[in-house]
């Protein structure tokens, strides 16, 4: 699986989203499922740029690969060499938190929760000095 490299900068997120959308369309993913996949990847990529790189005074890149597997899944792999962070370790908001108006709610967790819910499978692993976030959605049978 060959990767496309993007600078770890907020300006690079639009072309990264475009790549995911193009590959989702080419794989025949429905518009709504493709959009949810794109949002999930965008949420995690944004967190990597802001919290993994910028908040730590680091510069770097995001490597993105997209492929259709033999298991009939569209898989997006997002790798970076920022500070180690497993998005699954964040606690999402509970029902009580969700009833509080956005402007009064504590920040954090909602975007990742929505990202995880938007894909069929999400995995994280630390491989050497790199973070690997993997998103998978099933294609039509």
Residue ranges of domains in the chain: 4-138
pLDDT at 105: 45
CATH class label, 4-138: alpha beta
pLDDT at 86: 84
Tell me what pLDDT residue 89 has: 74
Rounded CA-CA distance 22/24 in Å is 5
Closest CA to 132 of 67, 65, 33: 65
Check residue 123 and give its pLDDT.
Answer: 95
Alpha carbon distance 76, 24 (integer Å): 10
**pLDDT string in tens for the chain (141-residue length):** 689 999 999 999 999 999 999 999 999 999 999 999 999 999 999 999 999 999 999 999 999 999 999 999 999 999 999 999 888 776 655 555 555 565 654 555 556 667 778 899 999 999 999 999 999 999 975
Q: What per-residue confidence (pLDDT) applies to 119?
A: 95
Confidence at residue 96, expressed as pLDDT on a 0 to 100 scale: 58
């Amino acid at each position: 699986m060959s990767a496309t490299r993007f600078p770890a900068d907020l300006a690079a997120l639009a072309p990264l989203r475009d790549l995911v959308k193009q590959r989702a369309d080419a794989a025949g993913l429905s518009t709504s499922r493709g959009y949810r996949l794109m949002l999930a990847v965008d949420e995690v990529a944004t967190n990597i740029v802001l919290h993994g790189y910028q908040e730590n005074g680091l510069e770097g890149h995001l490597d993105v690969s997209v492929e259709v597997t033999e298991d009939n899944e569209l898989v997006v792999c997002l790798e970076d060499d920022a500070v180690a962070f497993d998005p699954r370790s964040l606690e999402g908001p509970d029902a009580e938190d969700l009833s509080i108006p956005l402007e009064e709610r504590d920040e954090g967790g909602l975007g990742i929760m929505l990202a995880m819910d938007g894909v069929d499978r999400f995995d994280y692993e630390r491989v050497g000095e790199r973070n690997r976030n993997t998103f998978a959605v099933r294609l039509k049978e």
